[in-house]
Chain A
Amino acid sequence: MAKQMDAAYYHLLHELQAVDFVLVELNLYLDTHPNDLKAIEEYNRNAVKRKELACTYEEKYGPLMHFGHSYSKYPWQWAEEPWPWQV
């Protein structure tokens, strides 16, 4: 049986989901409002924040992405459980 995730895991995951959601919303908005400079700046600001949060998350819980978009410790962490539908 894979490790049980603790409250801190769910908290950090939720924080990341919140920033990523803002980015999804701004992304779709900008697809139809390409000249809104303020929204583009907001998008870029959140992208920086997202990178920092993802870094913290990956340090504690392993890679978020595959195919070279995240780093791995030894042994290979990507294929470790749990997967998103399991937690």
Chain B
Amino acid sequence: MWIYEKKLQYPVKVSKCDTRMAKYLIEQYGGADGELAAALRYLNQRYTIPGKVIGLLNDIGTEEFAHLEMIATMVYKLTKDATPEQMEAAGLGAHYANHDKALFYNNAAGVPWTASYIQANGDPIADLYEDIAAEEKARATYQWLIDLTDDVDLQDSLKFLREREVVHSQRFREAVEMLKEERDTKKVF
């Protein structure tokens, strides 16, 4: 089971009232390589991966939910005090018509999240390479999001999330190495 902890993993500070960014940030909420897709991808793959890397998939999958909550916090803060006119000016008129201020799992172009974003092949190497690719794509998306804002506080939180993709990618690469080992021998690094 999961236990909720009433705090964010990293402080989210949004200093500029720039509703436009909410439309772009939602990519990492309900997009193909967003945090929801990441969490569900790893937690789903853990059932059918060799035992020595289950723990890693479990733990990275869990951390992704903390990142999902950070993205939600950004979107929430950027939209909660926006008028319908401001929502419309930010390109969120259609979102407002559909959802008011409710968050929704769709990408920056408004396409709803779909399970086909999550690959689960069952082959451990194929799945881990998929995970590495997902981390690199998420890293790149954070770069494009950082490019799209001049709010240094928002950039700060996005840079934290981008760095986490780098570390997760590293760990998945190490997981591949673990699966390449000939035997279950104690490894000396």
Direct contact of A and B (CB under 8 A): yes
List the interface of chain A (C-beta within 8 A of B).
10, 13-14, 16-17, 20-21, 24-25, 27-29, 31-33, 35-36, 62-67, 69, 78, 83-85
Expressed in whole angstroms, the Cα–Cα distance for A17 and B7 within the complex equals 8
Which of B4, B5, B171 is close to A32, meaning CB atoms less than 8 Å apart? B171
* Bound-complex Cα distance A33 to B60 (A): 15
For B60, the chain A residues whose CB sits under 8 A away are 28
Whether B189 contacts A67 by the Cβ 8 Å rule is no
Question: Which chain B residues in 1-44 approach chain A with CB under 8 Å?
Answer: 3-12
A-B contact pairs, 28 of them (CB 8 A): A10-B11, A17-B8, A17-B9, A21-B9, A21-B10, A24-B9, A27-B59, A28-B56, A28-B63, A28-B167, A28-B168, A31-B53, A31-B171, A32-B56, A32-B174, A32-B175, A35-B186, A35-B188, A65-B5, A65-B6, A66-B3, A66-B4, A67-B3, A78-B6, A83-B6, A84-B73, A85-B69, A85-B76
How long is the Cα–Cα vector from A45 to B105 in the complex, in angstroms? 39
Answer whether residue B145 sits at the interface, using C-beta atoms and an 8 A cutoff: no
By a CB distance below 8 angstroms, the chain A residues around B4 are: 65-66
Q: Which of A24, A27, A66, A85 has the most CB of B within 10 A?
A: A85
**Bound complex: CA of A85 vs CA of B69, how far in Å?**
8
Docked CA distance A65–B6 (Å): 6
C-beta contact mask, B63-75 vs A, less than 8 Å → 1, else 0?
1000001001100
- When distances are taken between beta carbons in the complex, the residues of chain A under 8 Å from B12 are 85
**Interface residue ranges, B against A (CB under 8 Å):** 3-12, 53, 55-56, 59-60, 63, 69, 72-73, 76-77, 167-168, 171, 174-175, 178, 186-189
CB-CB under 8 A from B187, the residues of chain A are: 35
How far in angstroms is the closest Cβ of chain B from A29? 8
Residues of A within 8 A of B69 (CB): 84-85
Give the residues in chain B near A28, CB-CB below 8 Å.
56, 59-60, 63, 167-168, 171
Closest to B10 in A: A17
Determine if A63 and B189 form an interchain contact, defined as CB atoms under 8 angstroms apart. Answer: no
Q: Shortest distance in angstroms between B152's beta carbon and chain A's nearest beta carbon?
A: 18
Residues of B within 8 A of A65 (CB): 3-6
Closest to A16 in B: B7
Cα A1 to Cα B8 with chains together (Å): 21
| Alpha-carbon distance between A27 and B59 when the two chains are bound, in angstroms | 8
Chain A residue with the shortest CB-CB distance to B57: A31
Most buried by B among A14, A32, A36: A32
Q: Which of A17, A25, A31, A84 contacts B6 (CB 8 A)?
A: A84
Report the Cα distance A33→B124, complex, angstroms: 19
